[in-house]
Chain A
Amino acid sequence: MGFAHFWLSGFDQIRSGFWAYVAVGLENGALYAMIAVGYTLVYGVLGLINFAHGEVFMCGGFAAVFLTHGILGAGVANGWESVGLVLSGIVFAGLISAVVATGVEQVAYRPLRRRHAPKLAYLISAIGASYFLQTIAGKEFGYGQNIFPAEVFPAGQTLFYIGKTPIHTIEVICLVVGIIMFLAADRIVRHTRLGRGIRAVAQDSETSSLMGVNIDRTITLTFIIGGSLAGAAGFLYALQNGIIQNSGTELGIYAFTAAVLGGIGNLRGAALGGMMIGLFGSFSVPFAFEGNISWTEIYTFLILVLVLIIRPTGILGEKSGRTA
């Protein structure tokens, strides 16, 4: 098979299954965007990469498992029941993840902040936190087992057709929830008092503390917002893909790529970047050599490396401070 033929057949596959690739891409993109918000907010405020954020996402997924297996029990929900289930799942997973995110901040970041530690120290203690969370999740839920939330919700049901392509419930839910949560976060950061605090700290933490902004509380708030979005994403991800203790690493790197692509520190950039990475990931599947799906990963990381080399501030540019 010639090289040209390989690429042409890839384009053929995309043409015939265009909407299917779009649907999967948007679904994954919405998830990446929701996780990327956490990276971007923390970067804006603290100026550091929260390496443990992928694990915050993973905790959301395990919260979904715990909720469905432990609290709600079996029985498939339909109609309004399933809407209620999804809402309660998002709230619960978001809550758990927010708690974990603040916990990480309190234990791994705050003591360092009080000692004015160098940046490297934050990164390392974040790596420590991520190792810790990963292993303890593996320990409690079964190491190396991809587990699914109980079947309480028909995630793979076909909702409607675009042309001949079936669009599934989970894809619609991911996109809708992603958009709603992103708009909410965007609104909080732009238009509320707390959001003003976040932006102020991002711009100049010392001055804003002199102006009466409570820095600790503001930082906690950013972790709560980022954590709850990641938790919701974890819940939705687990519904379709199940969750395993190292899901966070992989998805975290994807989401981080998204945040960097859009311009880290820039909330809207995170959403844009997430969608782009999601679509890119699904459209690169037909171009995987020897049919090997890992090539989509290679392509994605190549994009990351290239973006950072050519335009380190991302597509929309870094705006830490002005719009958070």
Chain B
Amino acid sequence: MNLLTRKSLKRLFGTLAFFALAAVMTGGPGGFGVPAYTGVHASYLEPVSYFGLFRTQRWSIFLTLGILAWLIISLYQPHALTIRRRLEPVTALPNRVMQRRTNRWVLIGVVIVIALFLPKFVHEQFWMYLIVEQIGVWILLALGLNVVVGFAGLLDLGFAAFYAIGAYATAWFTGVLPTPAPFHHPIPTLWCIPIAVGLAMIFGILLGIPTLRLRGDYLAIVTLGFALIIDDFVGTQSGLTGGGEGSLTTPTFSMNVGFWHYHWGINPTPYYYLCFIFVVVFLIVFTSLEYSRVGRAWVAIREDEVAAQSIGINPLKYKVSAFAVGAASGGFGGVLTAGLIGNINPTLFQYQVSVNVLILVIFGGMGSIWGVAIGAIIVQFVTSYLDNYQPWGYQLNDLYMYIGALLIIMMIFRPAGILPSRRRQREISGYETEHEGHLDEVLAGDEP
């Protein structure tokens, strides 16, 4: 093993650059308002003592780590294939387990039982609240976007627009916006669900019909533009939508069926069960949709639009229907959020929200319903945990740095997500096995 080849030195450079970046990422924040020796300074120069053995600066630690990593990679590289083959039973384990039908059902059963009794184990009210607001609602959103992106293969960056439409429709129909409710007759929040979902769906169809003829990346931009228009619009119309302040008093859910009356108060547990029911319904509906005629038509269009057309599938019709289903679930999420948080304003529906939902879909595995649900649980739980406890010196503002890095790494090493749909996996493995990815290429670039 020669460590002084051109390729090896290039790898050294890449590794060191990576660790320099890691030092900046984990260092203290900088800026003009903060004392000197923070920011880039602190990333390298802050004195650190380890076990009192030696006093040093951070840079020497990261330099050492970098060189160590380089040595390990250099040692690993010649044996990469053998090691990977040995590890295959472990890496393929989740997929293998999930492929057995009985295992799948057992897992689903366990998840449902845990989910049913979860409020018994979580004693902190705000965690219950976070579980509903950060996890439950987002599972619904991710499942909805999954139909558009995962099933039909349409990149929708304007998902937040439909989320906003749902939420603002709720606020409008319950009469908490500056504009009076339609016919001056406010209705309960629960009744807003069909109305808001319908409105979002109509908007989805109206936007979809002209734009879905466009190519993939143009579609992404048009939807993004649409979301920005909606966000700006609700943010500026202070006389109509409350402007930047939105509505601070969206009513919560309440149910009144003659003999039985129930009001969702400030305790989040009833919301949890409400949300749980909706998640289960969504899962069942989308699973059956996946294997229906429509679901298969979506996949056919995603795979090869021309071929699909030749066997009599009308691509526009099915694309619009996928878009409408996605929009409807966005609107649904909007109603739920408005009722749960009790206030809405435009910051809830920014461009980042669309991307964040997309991240959940990609992380879990595009097109895989269970993958998306589990991915949403993992990502949302980890981010909520990091935000609330800040373990290991994690800094609050840094979340999106790690998410950004995670996205890049996922796209390089596991573009199909943590729990890929079986159909999707077969397609992607087509290109993955040809050019199997390893860290070395990323660090050293490629040889010309």
- Residues of A that sit less than 8 Å from B by CB: 48-49, 106-108, 110-112, 114-125, 127-136, 138-143, 145, 147, 214, 216-217, 249, 253, 256-257, 260, 289-290, 292, 294-295, 297-298, 301-302, 304-305, 308-309, 312
A117 to B434, CA, bound (A): 11
> Among the listed B215, B397, B404, B432, which residue makes an inter-chain contact with A132, where contact means beta carbons less than 8 Å apart?
B404
Assess the B229–A309 pair: CB atoms within 8 A: no
| Residue pair B407, A260 in contact (C-beta under 8 Å) | no
In the bound assembly, the distance between CA atoms of A126 and B408 in angstroms comes to: 8
Tell me the nearest residue of chain A to B441, going by C-beta.
Answer: A111
Whether A304 pairs with B221 at a CB distance below 8 angstroms is: yes
Establish whether residues B415 and A216, one from each chain, have CB atoms under 8 Å apart when the complex forms.
Answer: no
Chain A residues with CB under 8 Å of B229's CB are 298, 301-302, 305
Which residue from chain A places its CB closest to the CB of B399 in the assembled complex? Answer: A135
Find residues 36-71 in chain B having any chain A CB closer than 8 Å to their own CB: 39-40
What are the residues of chain B within 8 A of A128 when measuring CB–CB? Answer: 403-408, 411
| A123 B355 Cβ-Cβ under 8 A | no
A-B contact sample (9 more), CB < 8 A, given A118-B428, A297-B228, A309-B222: A111-B412, A114-B446, A120-B366, A129-B404, A132-B405, A139-B398, A145-B33, A294-B235, A308-B225
Question: Once bound together, how far apart are the Cα atoms of A265 and B386, in whole Å?
Answer: 42
Docked pose: A216 CA to B441 CA in angstroms: 14
Residues 358-404 of B contacting A (Cβ, < 8 Å): 358, 362, 366, 395, 397-401, 403-404
Looking at the complex, which one of B25, B210, B362, B411 makes contact with A136 (CB distance below 8 Å)? B25
Q: Pick the 8 closest A-B CB pairs, nearest first.
A: A142-B31, A128-B407, A132-B404, A131-B404, A135-B401, A125-B411, A128-B408, A301-B225
A123 — which chain B residues lie within 8 A by C-beta? 155, 217, 220
Residue from B24, B39, B232, B235 whose CB has the most chain A CB atoms within 10 Å: B232
Interchain nearest-CB distance for B420 vs A (Å): 13
Q: Are B401 and A301 in contact (CB under 8 A)?
A: no
Interface core residue of B153, B229, B395, B399 (most chain A CB under 10 Å)? B229
With a cutoff of 8 Å between Cβ atoms, the chain A residues found around residue B211 in the complex are 305, 308-309
Shortest distance between the CB of A237 and any CB in chain B (Å):
19
Answer whether residue B6 sits at the interface, using C-beta atoms and an 8 A cutoff.
Answer: no
Q: Across the interface, which residues of B come within 8 angstroms of A216, CB to CB?
A: 446, 448
CB-CB nearest in chain A for B31: A142
Cβ 8 A contact of A112, one of B232, B401, B412: B412
Residue ID in chain A nearest B43 by CB atoms: A140
Docked complex Cα distance between A216 and B447 (Å): 10
Q: Which of B216, B232, B406, B437 is in CB contact (< 8 Å) with A119?
A: B216
Q: Is the CB of A294 within 8 A of B236?
A: yes
- Count of B interface residues, CB-CB < 8 Å: 66
Enumerate chain A residues within 8 angstroms of B153, measured Cβ to Cβ.
120
**B226-A140 in contact (CB<8A):** no
Q: In the complex, A304 Cα to B38 Cα: how many Å? A: 42
Q: Is the CB of A119 within 8 A of B24?
A: no
- Pairwise interchain contact A111-B403, C-beta atoms closer than 8 A: no
Contact residues in A for B428 (Cβ distance below 8 Å): 118
- B400–A110 contact, CB under 8 A? no
B143 to chain A, nearest CB (A): 18
Q: Residues of B contacting A133 with CB < 8 Å?
A: 404
0/1 interface trace, chain B 210-252, chain A, CB 8 Å (1 if under)? 1100111110111011101100110111110000000000000
CB of B397, distance to nearest CB on chain A (Å): 5
Contact residue among B31, B155, B412, B445 (Cβ-Cβ distance under 8 Å from A143): B31
B214 engages A124 (CB within 8 Å): no
Bound-complex Cα distance A127 to B361 (A): 14
B29 in contact (CB, < 8 A): yes
Cross-chain contact of B415 among A117, A140, A253, A292 (Cβ < 8 A): A117
Residue of A nearest to B33 (CB): A142
Chain A proximity of B203: nearest CB distance (Å)? 13
Instruction: Point out the residues of chain A lying under 8 angstroms from B237, CB to CB.
Output: 290
Q: Is the CB of B221 within 8 A of A256?
A: yes
Verify A115–B30 contact, CB threshold 8 A: no
**Bound CA–CA A297/B228 (angstroms):** 8
From known contacts A131-B400, A139-B29, infer whether A108 and B217 are also in contact, taking CB-CB under 8 Å. no
Taken together as a complex, chains A and B put the C-alpha atoms of A161 and B216 apart, in Å, by: 48
Do residues B31 and A141 form an inter-chain contact, with CB atoms below 8 A? yes
In the complex, which residues of chain B have a beta carbon less than 8 angstroms from the beta carbon of A308? 211, 214, 218, 221-222, 225
Q: Is B431 an interface residue (CB 8 A)?
A: yes
Chain A CB within 8 A of B435 CB: yes
Is the C-beta of B32 less than 8 angstroms from some C-beta in chain A?
yes
Say yes or no: B220 contacts A49, CB within 8 Å: yes
Asked if B4 is at the interface of the complex by the 8 Å CB criterion, the answer is no
With A116-B435, A294-B235, A308-B222: A131-B155 Cβ-Cβ less than 8 Å: no
> Chain B residue with minimal CB distance to A288?
B236
Q: Are A136 and B228 in contact (CB under 8 A)?
A: no
Sample of 6 A–B contacts (CB below 8 Å): A120-B155, A124-B362, A128-B406, A131-B400, A132-B401, A142-B34
Q: Which single residue of chain A is at the shortest CB-CB distance from B355? A: A127
Most chain-A Cβ atoms within 10 A of its Cβ — which of B25, B405, B441?
B405
Q: Which of B31, B224, B400 contacts A134 (CB 8 A)?
A: B400
Taking the nearest CB of chain B, how far is it from the CB of A232, in angstroms? 23
Whole-angstrom distance from the CB of A51 to the nearest CB of chain B?
A: 9
A214 to B214, CA, bound (A): 32
Q: Min CB distance, B17 to chain A, in Å?
A: 9
> Which chain B positions have C-beta within 8 A of A116?
431, 434-435
Q: Which of B215, B239, B351 contacts A290 (CB 8 A)?
A: B239
Q: Given A123-B155, A260-B221, A292-B236, A131–B431 Cβ distance below 8 Å? A: no
Does B442 belong to the interface (CB within 8 Å)?
yes
Bound together, the chains give a CA A111 to CA B448 distance in angstroms of 14
